[in-house]
Amino acid sequence: MYAVKRNFTFFERLFIWRRMNFSEQKFILMISFVVGVLTAFAGLFLKWLIHQIQYLLTYRFDATGSNALYLVYPVIGIFLTGLFVRYVVKDDISHGVTKILFAIARKQSKIKAHNTWSSVIASAITIGFGGSVGAEAPIVLTGSAIGSNLGRLFRINSKTLMLLVGCGAAGAVAGIFKAPIAGLVFTLEVLMIDLTMGALLPLLISCVTAAGVTFAVSGTNTIFEFHLQNGFAVDKIPAYILLGIFCGLVSLYFTRTMNSLEDIFRKYSNPYVKLLIGGATLSILIYLFPSLYGEGYDLINLLLNGNSAKDWDTAMDSSLFYGHGNLLLLYLALVLIFKVFASTATNGGGGCGGIFAPSLFLGCISGFIFARLWNFYRCLGIYLPERNFAMIGMAGLMSGVMHAPLTGIFLIAELTGGYQLFMPLMIVSVCAYLTIISFEPHSIYSMRLAKRGQLLTHHKDRAILTLMSLDSVIEKYDEYLYPDMDLSELVKTISASRRDVFPVVDRQHRLVGIIYLDDVRPIMFRQELYHRFQIGQLMKEPVARLNIDDSMDVVLLTFDKTQAWTLPVVDTEGTFMGFIRKSHVLTLYRKTLADLSDD
């Protein structure tokens, strides 16, 4: 006998070499470093591309009046993005962070390969042409996709793959914001990946690597220049608490309005109708309020660094409000109100972008308006520095919208270098978070999944049920019984099977009843009855039916309510899909618990 020599592919040889030369732990650390590097370069490229497009389109604009091209550019951007998504990507790439949460909870952390580049191109076109959204969520999806696909390339198990998805997200935030601590905290708070000793080091490596690469390429200066105007003072604590509550209410307005507007866009299936509605809305808003063009970072820098009314009045450049300094607060208030309409119109119309930048943008405006009104009415006889409160407001909005107070605190401190205001950042972030959770238990990212029972949380029991797949416990059937069959045909089916429960279906395979072996055992050996009874007379109505789309929470709750040990599963039209046994569910639960607890 001669042994047959197998020709291994390049990736198979690479996998074998990896297993022979590196332990699993060391290899994960290496991969987390590579994820950090690749994610940082992806973020740098995206920012560069956005700035190049914006400069080419707007560098000749007149600052003393309105510009008609604001009515054209956003529509073109959304149209081009829509074409790119429909004919090149051919997949939905919106709601990047929500997609990551869904991939972690329901797809074993598997993210499609095109997400490593598609969101970069789509968001650059959208934002460069004026889409009123942020580049950060698309780059977070890109980073997570890089981690997921590198892990799958080297055949890493699903639990470690979840960690690499987190490394990609953490590296994306750390790189694009130059904020390594915020990147780590974002992954723990928003993506809800548990912090264990086994997960801490890879996440830190990705964060530090991504931030280090960005520092090396673009310098160590912070994203937003900020000069402290008076430090923390105890007498301003009431103002910080009220600002936190105000930011929480603005976050609530932003979250609920965006969800309501998205529901309107979902009613239309025709992409050109969506483009018409979204593009027209966005163009008109940007024409009236040019500050809504793109990410809005110019206005943030202006409010953080302005020294006089003359500086802040430039916020109204290129708008119909130009030259009317007395209308600055009205202008900013209208921008605050309409930002959510502009952001939703961008994505609803076919664009691609996230809500990181809109959250920072609204927070900065909220803090500035709050301080300006406080000073105008001379509340408590205390003066509030507008620049400081504009910076602190960004932490409040981010904490409220994302339900992530730690992310808000550390991100704004790292973005601006405002570490001397750490105490106010904490007060405002906590107050904003406590305000919004009184009305909304889930963040803007997670509420869609929470409604469907597909959200992974830090609650261990719920996390396990979320990670469990209904497909993994469903018992498929090839044997079907029909109501007009007689007892003899039932006996033949039972004798050829090892099962103790059988589905009875109609000719369209819709479930009509169940036959239990224990119920027919007394008569199945009596041949004189074989042609006297039909299955329709012997079958029973199931005590409950599970739907193929039910979450494992619903499955276990149904078992508990009915005290059943076996339940049928049907689709939305009643077609029989299989049976689920409680014993199989409990076995999978114990296995998933062991995998989740194993560090």
pLDDT digits (tens, 9 = 90+) for 63-86: 676 778 888 999 999 999 999 999
Residue boundaries of the structural domains of the chain = 10-218, 234-452, 462-597
What pLDDT score does 599 carry?
Answer: 45
Q: Check the CA dihedral 578-579-580-583 and report its sign.
A: negative
Residue-wise DSSP of 335-374: HHHHHHHHHHHHHHTT---BSHHHHHHHHHHHHHHHHHHH
CB 51 within 8 A of CB 67: no
Q: Which residues pair with 503 in a beta bridge?
A: 514
What pLDDT score does 594 carry?
Answer: 60
Q: At what angle do helices 356-377 and 297-305 cross, to 10 degrees?
A: 30
What pLDDT score does 317 carry?
Answer: 86
The architecture CATH gives domain 10-218 = Orthogonal Bundle (1.10)
**What contacts 304, CB < 8 A, 6 or more positions away?**
224, 225, 226, 364, 387, 390, 391, 416
Which residues of the chain fall below pLDDT 70? Answer: 1-12, 14, 63, 65, 105-108, 192-197, 448-469, 471, 592-599
300-330 pLDDT, tens digit per residue, is: 999 998 877 788 888 888 888 888 888 999 9
Q: Give φ, ψ of 90 to 5 degrees.
A: 60, 40
What pLDDT score does 67 carry?
Answer: 79
What pLDDT score does 274 carry?
Answer: 93
Query: Beta strand 546-547 with 566-570: parallel, antiparallel or unpaired?
Result: parallel
Number of H-type helices and E-type strands within the chain: 25, 6
Residue 267 burial by Cβ neighbours in a 10 Å radius (0-12, 13-18, 19+): exposed
pTM of the model: 0.77
As assigned by CATH, the class of the 234-452 domain is mainly alpha
Which tokens hold the place of 26?
Answer: 């060391």
Alpha carbon 128 to chain centroid distance? 22
Q: Do domains 10-218 and 462-597 have the same CATH topology?
A: no
Nearest Cα residue to 138 out of 193, 77, 95: 95
449-483 pLDDT, tens digit per residue, is: 555 554 444 444 555 555 566 767 788 887 778 88
Which tokens hold the place of 14?
Answer: 């690479």
The CATH number given to 462-597 is 3.10.580.10
Residue-wise DSSP of 475-529: E-----B-TT-BHHHHHHHHHT---SEEEEE-TT-BEEEEEEHHHHTTTTT-GGG
CB 570 within 8 A of CB 545: yes
